[in-house]
Amino acid sequence: SNSPTSKGRNLVIRTPNHANSAVLERLFVEISNKDWKYT
């Protein structure tokens, strides 16, 4: 599991996850703001 392929795979997997978490975080904030407005 120390081969260059697995390392590259980890990088490829890690980067989209980080991007997705940022997008989900923004979505969550927007939804929270909408919920707050509608309350």
- Tokens 């590259």 — which residue? 8
Q: pLDDT by residue (tens digit) across 1-33?
A: 455 556 655 555 565 666 677 888 888 888 777
Residue 4 tokens read as 């260059």
Q: What stretch of H or E contains 39?
A: none
Q: Is the pTM of this model over 0.85?
A: no
Distance CA 12, CA 33 (A): 32
**What is the total count of domains within the chain?**
1
Q: In which domain, by residue range, is 18 found?
A: 1-39
Using CA atoms in the order 36, 37, 38, 39, what is the torsion angle rounded to 10 degrees? 50
